[in-house]
Amino acid sequence: MTEEFRTVIGLEIHVQLNTRAKMFCGCDNNAEGKEPNTVVCPVCMGMPGTLPVASREAIEKTIKLGLALGCEIPKISKFDRKHYFYPDLPKGYQISQYDQPFCKGGQIELESGTVKLNRVHLEEDAGKLVHPKGSKYSIVDLNRAGTPLLEIVSEPDITSPAMAKDYMKELHLILRNLRISDADMEKGQMRCDANISVQLKGERRKGKVASSPIVEIKNLNSFRFVEKALAHEEKKLQEEFEKWPEKKTKLTHGFDSNRGTTYPMREKEEAKDYRYFPEPDVPPFDLTRFPIEKWKKELPKLPSHHRARLSELGLTKEEANIIAKDDTIKDVIENVAEKNKAIIGKLLINNVEARKLSIEALNQIADTIRDGSPSNWVRDMIRRSVKSGKLPLEIVKETKGLAPSSEEISEKTKEFTKFLISENPDVVQKHKAGKAGALEFLIGQGMKMTKGTVNPKELREELVKQLEEEKR
């Protein structure tokens, strides 16, 4: 059945910006842990006669996201009033953007394809309704009213529920990377409305209704729910395809995360129902007067850039992904020597203790562990360096004065290698028979016997040399 259909998904994602003040007033934008209705003022409570003043910080953060996503930043942008009645919206309208948003177009690159964007616009969040259990009334908390809210609208380029999840994860990563939002979904700082329809492909399309209605699923607040709700709706739209009336309609659904199913909500409003008109109290913005070029230069590199670069350096896709997501590891990788990036990347992923080391210490470790040194030697060195606060090269010197390239240690290594070979005749036989891993085993044994004080690189070289000589 699935092969007959193509799935079309578009996402509208709302993101609260982490500005110091709210969108149009000076109230603290962080109401976490505060009593209801204590982080409010006449402006964000919608009192008559108050005047909104737009936050420059919010506009800057919006435009920076637009620049990072390759959006066009128009010359002029303005706010509009979007009217609807709901108890958490005291003004009776929301200040939003209609036809002249701050950012137009743009795209997000995913492994599964490119998702073009329609726009990124800025608006204010509404308050919150609280429904006390067992009571017949609801109470209103306006602490959230007036929080700067981004709306990121994609084109319907997403072709599967899994791709929708990937898209959302990538956007989440970009927002965190730019440090414009904490995007904590559990706290409602990032929420998603998803639009889905299924269309008939090829032959069967002739003379038939080509598309199902578009179903909008509201307020999805986790990556998993986005995928689950869309998968549920996709299946239902396919199964009930023949039943849909000719006239294309729009339906609005909610998602029941306990059951994993969707349920009908009120009909979706069309733009005309909102009676948009330009916000008379906030004049339009001449964006040519904003330091856009400077902001562009200040942008950090995007996760996709880091992934591509790390892959070039020889890390696997999974490793590159882990690093691109972890700001702390990424910052370290940016600062270590170019030749050591891959080795240190792997180290930081696999060894939590290594994350405590300085850039210099990491570089020294990477310099001493080329050519597949045994991991227990590396672990030991990291542990010692973290514990003593000494640099790895100091430790190498201290432990029996074994500096890696001195003549003396070479003599010692030579002698020890001879000893190692005589102690492990079976393994030596296996090596001569071409058994993979025998050499590594010998090196591992050597590290163990010397408690890591011999240089693994020299031991390896010496082993290879002496074993070659034995063959002759």
Which segment (20-28, 114-122, 217-225, 387-395) binds Zn ion by CB under 5 A? 20-28
**Beta carbon of residue 31, minimum distance to Zn ion (angstroms, whole number):** 11
CA distance 104 to 34: 36
Residues 172 to 231: which contact Zn ion by CB under 5 A? none
The CB-of-279 to Zn ion minimum distance in angstroms stands at 17
Q: Which helix (H) or strand (E) holds 169?
A: helix 161-177
Distance (Å, rounded) from C-alpha 96 to C-alpha 472?
83
DSSP character at residue 85: -
Verify binding: residue 44, Zn ion, rule CB under 5 A.
yes
CA–CA gap between residue 101 and residue 74 (Å, rounded) = 8
Shortest Cβ 32–Zn ion spacing (Å): 16
Strands (E), 265-345: 277-278, 285-286
Question: Which of 37-45, 247-255, 315-323, 403-411 is the region at the interface with Zn ion (rule: CB under 5 A)?
Answer: 37-45
Query: Which of 44, 421 has the CB closer to Zn ion?
Result: 44
In the bound state with Zn ion, the residue whose beta carbon lies nearer, of 25 and 168, is 25
41 binds Zn ion per the rule CB under 5 A: yes
Cβ proximity of 420 and 428 under 8 Å: no
Neighbours of 211 (CB within 10 A): 17
Kindly state whether residue 27 participates in binding Zn ion, applying the rule CB under 5 A: yes
Tell me how far apart the alpha carbons of residues 331 and 104 are, in angstroms, rounded to a whole number.
Answer: 31
Q: Which is nearer to Zn ion, 47 or 129 (CB)?
A: 47
Residues 6+ apart with CB under 8 A from 126: 86, 88, 89, 94, 144, 145
C-beta closer to Zn ion: residue 143 or 385: 143
Identify which of residues 7 and 29 has a Cβ nearer to Zn ion in the complex: 29
# of chain residues touching Zn ion (CB under 5 A):
5
Start-to-end C-alpha separation, the chain:
68
Nearer to Zn ion, 27 or 58 (CB): 27
Give yes or no for residue 25 binding Zn ion (CB under 5 A). Answer: yes
Pairing of strands 5-16, 190-200: antiparallel
Residue 142 C-beta: closest distance to Zn ion, Å: 9
Query: Residue 264 CB, nearest distance to Zn ion (Å)?
Result: 36
Residues that bind Zn ion (CB under 5 A): 25, 27, 41, 43-44
